[in-house]
């Protein structure tokens, strides 16, 4: 009987211990940081890591055990990021988090880990094919010896790979789609092994890798295939989307009844983001004059016209602007000529007025290279133009 009571007592104690542990787990607060980018870096290379959910001024440290930390191993978050340098390779380091002003409170962030990989070798890629491309054209290049999911970039031979960021991911066959928009000449290859954050010039035993880029000296009359919109209002700044535009190209609109692309001054409006804000004085049907980067000509784009109408809008011009439904407070936003003109730091706090209605800008990572963009076909990005709130004074909103 005594042994049965002892067994029952021990069983109750174990149950109480389990219940206490369960309550502690239930009371555990969720992790502050929900994601880090990147989740793998190169040893001994200072790398910017973004901490989703992190607060400016808080400190972070990566370690095998958050109960055994180095007093000198802390990094401070600023603008959602911290520049991290770790000397030793590791497969899975825990993220230890310390809120500002709470030196004694360190919390391990659940589900967050960081890998630290070895430095990239300078002799991984032994050859490239092809070895010559045309400026501005997207070409699939095979990098012999490159690993899948590694990254690479071609930069002018005079530049340093340490200042470059490899961006093109390579597939299982060591191939990547590269576009060189810089001036013609010789380019070197900067390479980053999978999971790394460094950038190392490839110098195999046979000699340094070199890519010859042929300079584009003339402009194709079919460079721009489509523009949108094709009709605008006189004296109203309007962003024109141009399919086929490339970084460094220039554009200008001309009324063919009074001049031509050859007679006018060279195009001076940058269309590197695939769009440009155009303002035209005077009604009529205009043509598009275009100059490719590196060229000295001004070529009328075949089949492309822009109709400019007097102030006021016809029904067929309203399209997506027929109903504004403004619902966004612009008090804390800054107006820009067009979203493409805003940099990454100011993009999400900017808006532009286009054909009488305002749209909030957003940083579009789905495009390459990423840019400050605007979605004019949906209200998901925040349609602006509320009464007395946007568009300046007097309001540019219709």
Domain extent listing, the chain: 1-26, 35-117, 127-214, 226-312, 322-398
pLDDT band at 77 (very low <50, low <70, confident <90, very high): very high
- Please name the residue that has the structure tokens 């909030």: 360
pTM as predicted: 0.54
pLDDT band at 387 (very low <50, low <70, confident <90, very high): low
Say yes or no: domain 127-214 is CATH 3.90.550.10.
no
Residue 7 is predicted with a pLDDT of 52
pLDDT band at 358 (very low <50, low <70, confident <90, very high): confident
Do 35-117 and 226-312 have matching folds?
yes
pLDDT band at 123 (very low <50, low <70, confident <90, very high): very high
Least confident interval from 35-44, 49-58, 360-369: 360-369
Looking at per-residue confidence, does 299 or 336 come out higher? 299
Return the DSSP state at 234.
Answer: T
CA Rg value for the chain? 29
Q: Are 305 and 257 in contact (CB under 8 A)?
A: no
pLDDT band at 181 (very low <50, low <70, confident <90, very high): confident
pLDDT band at 23 (very low <50, low <70, confident <90, very high): very low
Residue 8 is predicted with a pLDDT of 52
Q: b/e for 87-120, b at 16 or more Cβ within 10 A?
A: eeeeeebbbbbbeeeeeeebbebeebebbbbeeb
- Tell me how far apart the alpha carbons of residues 118 and 124 are, in angstroms, rounded to a whole number: 13
- Tell me how far apart the alpha carbons of residues 341 and 272 are, in angstroms, rounded to a whole number: 10
Query: Given a cut of 70, is residue 182 above it in pLDDT?
Result: yes
Please report which helix (H) or strand (E) contains residue 325, including its range: none
Query: Given a cut of 60, is residue 239 above it in pLDDT?
Result: yes
pLDDT band at 386 (very low <50, low <70, confident <90, very high): low
Average pLDDT of the segment spanning 316-340: 66
SS3 159: coil
Question: Could you tell me which CATH number the domain at 35-117 has?
Answer: 2.60.40.10
Q: Which CATH architecture has domain 226-312?
A: Sandwich (2.60)
* Sheet containing strand 334-335, strands side by side: 334-335, 350-354, 357-360
Q: What is the percent of the chain with per-residue pLDDT over 70, rounded to a whole number?
A: 81
Q: Are 58 and 100 in contact (CB under 8 A)?
A: yes
Residue 102 is predicted with a pLDDT of 84
Q: Are 152 and 105 in contact (CB under 8 A)?
A: no
Average pLDDT of the segment spanning 14-41: 64
Average pLDDT of the segment spanning 116-121: 97
Average pLDDT of the segment spanning 362-379: 80
| Cα 96 from chain centroid (whole Å) | 28
Q: Is the dihedral of CA 15, 21, 22, 24 positive or negative?
A: positive
Q: Is the dihedral of CA 237, 242, 246, 252 positive or negative?
A: negative
Looking at per-residue confidence, does 29 or 98 come out higher? 98
| Cα 385 from chain centroid (whole Å) | 27
Please report which helix (H) or strand (E) contains residue 239, including its range: strand 238-243
Return the DSSP state at 119.
Answer: P
Residues 6+ apart with CB under 8 A from 56: 77, 78, 79, 80
Least confident interval from 148-162, 175-189, 224-238, 357-371: 357-371
Beta bridge partners of residue 239, listed in sequence order:
277
- Tell me how far apart the alpha carbons of residues 239 and 228 are, in angstroms, rounded to a whole number: 9
């Amino acid at each position: 009987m005594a042994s049965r009571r002892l067994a029952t007592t021990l069983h109750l104690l174990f149950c109480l211990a389990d219940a206490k542990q369960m309550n502690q787990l239930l009371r555990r607060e969720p992790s502050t940081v929900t994601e880090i980018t990147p989740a793998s870096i190169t040893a001994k290379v200072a790398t910017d890591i973004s901490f989703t959910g992190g607060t400016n001024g808080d400190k972070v440290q990566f370690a095998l055990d958050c109960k055994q930390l180095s007093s000198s191993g802390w990094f401070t978050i600023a603008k959602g990021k911290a520049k991290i340098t770790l000397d030793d390779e590791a497969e899975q380091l825990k993220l230890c988090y310390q809120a500002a002003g709470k030196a004694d409170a360190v919390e391990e962030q659940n589900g967050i880990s960081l890998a630290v990989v070895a430095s990239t070798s300078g002799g991984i890629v032994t050859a490239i094919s092809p070895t010559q491309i045309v400026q501005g054209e997207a070409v699939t290049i095979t990098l012999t010896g490159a690993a899948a999911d590694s990254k690479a970039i071609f930069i002018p031979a005079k530049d340093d790979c340490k200042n470059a960021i490899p961006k093109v991911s390579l597939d299982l066959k060591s191939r990547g789609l590269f576009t060189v928009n810089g001036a013609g000449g010789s380019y070197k290859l900067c390479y980053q092994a999978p999971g790394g954050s460094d950038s190392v010039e490839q110098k195999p035993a046979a000699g340094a890798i070199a890519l010859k880029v042929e300079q584009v000296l003339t402009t194709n009359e079919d460079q721009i295939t489509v523009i949108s919109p094709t009709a605008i209002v006189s004296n109203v700044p309007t962003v024109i989307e141009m399919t086929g535009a490339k970084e460094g190209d220039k554009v200008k609109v001309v009324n063919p009844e009074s001049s031509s692309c050859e007679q006018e001054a060279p195009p001076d409006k940058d269309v590197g983001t695939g769009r440009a804000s155009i303002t035209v004085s005077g009604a009529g049907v205009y043509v598009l004059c275009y100059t490719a980067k590196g060229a000295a000509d001004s070529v009328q784009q075949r089949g492309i016209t822009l109709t400019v109408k007097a102030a006021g809008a016809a029904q067929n011009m309203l399209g997506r602007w027929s109903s504004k439904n403004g619902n966004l407070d612009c008090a804390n936003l800054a107006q820009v000529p067009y979203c493409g003109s805003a940099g990454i730091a100011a993009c999400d706090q900017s808006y532009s007025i286009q054909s009488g209605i305002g749209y909030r800008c957003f940083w579009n990572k789905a495009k390459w290279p990423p840019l400050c963009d605007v979605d004019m076909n949906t209200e998901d990005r925040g349609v602006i133009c509320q009464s007395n709130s946007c568009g300046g004074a007097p309001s540019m909103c219709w």
